[in-house]
Each structure stands twice: as C-alpha cells, then as structure tokens.
Amino acid sequence: MKPSQRLLLATLSLLSALAGPSFAAESAAPPTSKPNIIVIVADDLGYGDLGFQGGKDVPTPHIDSLAKNGVRFTDGYVTGTVCSPTRAGLVTGRYQQRFGHEFNPGGVDQTAGTLLGLPLSESTIADALKKVGYKTALVGKWHLGSNEKLRPQQRGFDEFYGFLGGAHPYVPNDKNTAGGGPIFRGNEEIETPAHLTSAFGEEAAAFIERQKKGDPFYLQLTFNAVHNPLQPDAEHLARFEKISDPKRRAYAGLLSGLDDAVGDVLKALQESGQEENTLVFFISDNGGPQQGNGSNNAPLTGDKATVLEGGIRVPFVLQWKGKVPAGSVYKQPVISLDIPATAAELAGATLGSPERPIDGVNIVPYVLGEKQAAPHKSLYWRAGPQHAIRQGNYKLRQQANQAPKLFDVVADVAEQQDLASAKPEVVKELAAAYDEWDKQLAKPLWKGGQRKGRQQNAAQRAARAERRAKATPTVTPAPAANPS
C-alpha cells in the first residue's frame, strides 16, 4: 500500500471515530457522495394541529413519522409573517428584508406581466445546487413572481409543476376567480387536476421515482394546503363527521389530505432506496390564521401576519435516517434560513456571495452535538410597522405604535407576562441589537396590501367580498380525487 493510501485510510478512521457510530458509514462514503434534499412546506398550518405538536382531532401519522424518525425543533421559526416573504428567505438563505421583499406582492393579476417578485439580484438554493450537479424541482405554490423572468425554471429549478400566485382553488375552477390562475408544467398551462393536494404529492413522488440512485436531487414541495379556500375532497372530509364546526371540519379534511400526500412522497423515497441519503425538512410558511381557516396555534398566542409567536413559530422537523438520531428534540432557536444553508454546505455548494452573504447556518452539527453553542445569537423579524428580535430566552416585540414588550418565550411561550418594566436593561440591549440589524435592510420594493395599479379584477373582488360577508362559510367538499 502506498504511503498516501495509508494516510487516507488513517484520516477516514479518525474522522469516523470522532463522529461516532451515526457518521461512520458516511465518513467511509466516496468523497463525491452528496445527499438528496427534500423541503416540504405547508401553507398557513396551525402550530398545534399536528400530532407531534399535540394535535388531537386530526391524525397526521405521515408527517408525525418525520419527527419520530428525526429531530423536532421546539423553537423553529420562519422569517416572515406571510407567504411570499418567507419563501423569499427560504430560497435565498438571506433575510428577505435585506433585498426589499418585505411584503406579499399579492393582488397582482398573474397574466399582467408584472416584475413584482424575488429580485433578479438574488440567487437561489436551486441555482447553487445545480452548479454542483443536482437535479432540481419545484412542485406546488411559487408566489415569488409571475413574470417569465421570475418563474421557477428561471430561478434554478429544472422542473416546475404548480401555480405562480399566492392561493389557488383545489379543484378545477375558472382561472379568473379569486386566487385562481393557470396550473403550469414548466411554462405550459395545463388542465387543473381533480384535487391539487393529491396531485402535488403524486408529482413529487414521481419526481423521486425518476431519479437515478447516486445522482443527487433537490425537491422543494410547497403545498397550498391548508390555505383557503376550504375545499377538501369528499374522501378526506368524510373522516371528520364528528367535528361539529364546519370550518374546522373542512380544515381537518384538508390537513388529512396533506398528510396523505406527504405519505406518498415518503413512500416513494423509501422504495427508491435513497431514504438514508436524503434529508427531509418539514415546515409551515407561517402561523395559522385561526379565524380564517379554522387552524389552531395553541399553545402560542397570535396568528399569521403578526410577529407574535403564533405568526412566526412553526412546526419544524428534519429527518435524515442513519445520521440524525430518531426521536430527538432540539431546543435552541433555529430559522427557515438554516434549511438552504444546510443544503448548500452538505452539497459542497456556494450559496450567496461575499457581497450578499447568507444569514442561515448548517444546523446538522448542532443537532448532533458537535457544536454546543446556539446556532444564532439573535433572530430578527420586520414586517412594516411591527418587528421583533429574539436573543436566548428573551423576545422583544413591538407592534405599530405600541410600547415595546419583552417576554421570556421559553418560560412563557404564550407571551402573557410582559417583562419590559421589570427588565429595562434587557429591553435596551435587544432594542439596540435590533436597530443595528435594521440599519442593514433595504427599503421595501412594494407596499403591503392593495394599492393603485394592483387592483383585483371584478371576479376577485366579488369573491373576496362574499367570503368576508360570511362569518362561517358554507363548506362544499370537492369530489374525491382519482385514486393513484
């Protein structure tokens, strides 16, 4: 044996011993081995609705299996209070406020050719992974721009199946109705499937099945479930006849359908023989709008569109069989920016640049105990007139013109006891840290909400007015999806 070969074997043995049993097989793998990454995003999911989060009335065995077989993050956050800003952070690894993507570019007619969306100055995790040999796909909701220059296949994704806007009916519907628009395969408009949730699960599963073992892939599966409109298929709605509230019953049907679709994806992954070489993340894009869709954010206070814990803390899990200990719990704060950062580092890819550095970190060494410190000294949020910062157990929150409030969100997860008057030194320290971060941010590229030049069309206005007029909407189930 050559001296260089003996040195290589000795180095691999030492790394295996230091990493422990869970990394022994990985250390001996060929240097070119790259893990697959699947990122599953639910839309407007309640913090307390999943089984592993304490949910009781809607069984979610497939999503729960990710926590059972991986790590659950008790203090997992997203960067935005609503859909599009969070997604901008998720694909770039950077706080979206750094490049002006602070609000939803909603209310934009998808056929209008607007350039509102993820700025072309930003690169994505899909861009980075493609450069190191990954096959990339986006299945589901995009909400980062409808202009052809801003669509998924121009932002690093080889394949796209889904819709471009912020919401969509689950069943075939006139594309001009509220939240509508075409379903795309690539840049081609196609017929809307019987039910979007099952269709997205099937499409993602088919993508996994097409990949050759040893050729790495990145799949971002962004469901629109459980976002309004409340249109579960008949099969899933029928499972919850005992839930008396019609809104909650319809929400339960949507959530059950989402769980089954995730099950289709996990089954395809297992049958592909690549389960132990694949990281699977699951998050929601923000907290649930509890009155809007019947979701449940317990034990948190607050809803989607707020910087209360109920708006920004989400179910957050990572499964990596054979690498991450099954059933583990990680209690330090992490954020959705860490997902692309983890993917890039494990793939040997470069995300961001010296001029536009990322804010996320690779969280795997923290989960494995190789790094003992918290992944982040501070986490930040800004959404117009409301903002927040978290350092350690403390969170300083300010909404509109109200006085800042301070909470220990570990001891007081529901943010009931304001500690601002009792701990003025902590308020001062966190306020100063937030102000330093705020100075680094860009001016928003567009305003939140509707404004001149972005009016809804007549059908959208009528549909939204009708929904607002109904305190409790009548739920009409969609027909059962065609069996796969």
143, 168, 195, 376: the active-site residue: 143
Q: Reply yes or no on whether 143 is catalytic.
A: yes
Pairing type for strands 316-319 and 71-73 reads antiparallel
**The Cα angle at residue 314 between residues 294 and 396, in degrees rounded to 5:** 110
* Residue 11 CB burial class (10 angstroms; 0-12, 13-18, ≥19): exposed
> In this structure, how many other beta carbons lie within 10 angstroms of the beta carbon of residue 263?
17
- Return the bridge partners of 300, or none: none
Contact of 75 with 366, CB cutoff 8 Å: no
3-state secondary structure at position 175: coil
Q: Reply yes or no on whether 101 is catalytic.
A: no
Buried-state track 162-191, b at ≥16 Cβ within 10 A, e below 16: bbbbbbbbbbebebebbbbbbbbeeeeeee
Pairing type for strands 334-335 and 76-77 reads parallel
How far apart are the C-alpha atoms of 194 and 233, rounded to whole Å? 9
How far apart are the C-alpha atoms of 364 and 362, rounded to whole Å? 6
Annotated catalytic residues are 83, 143
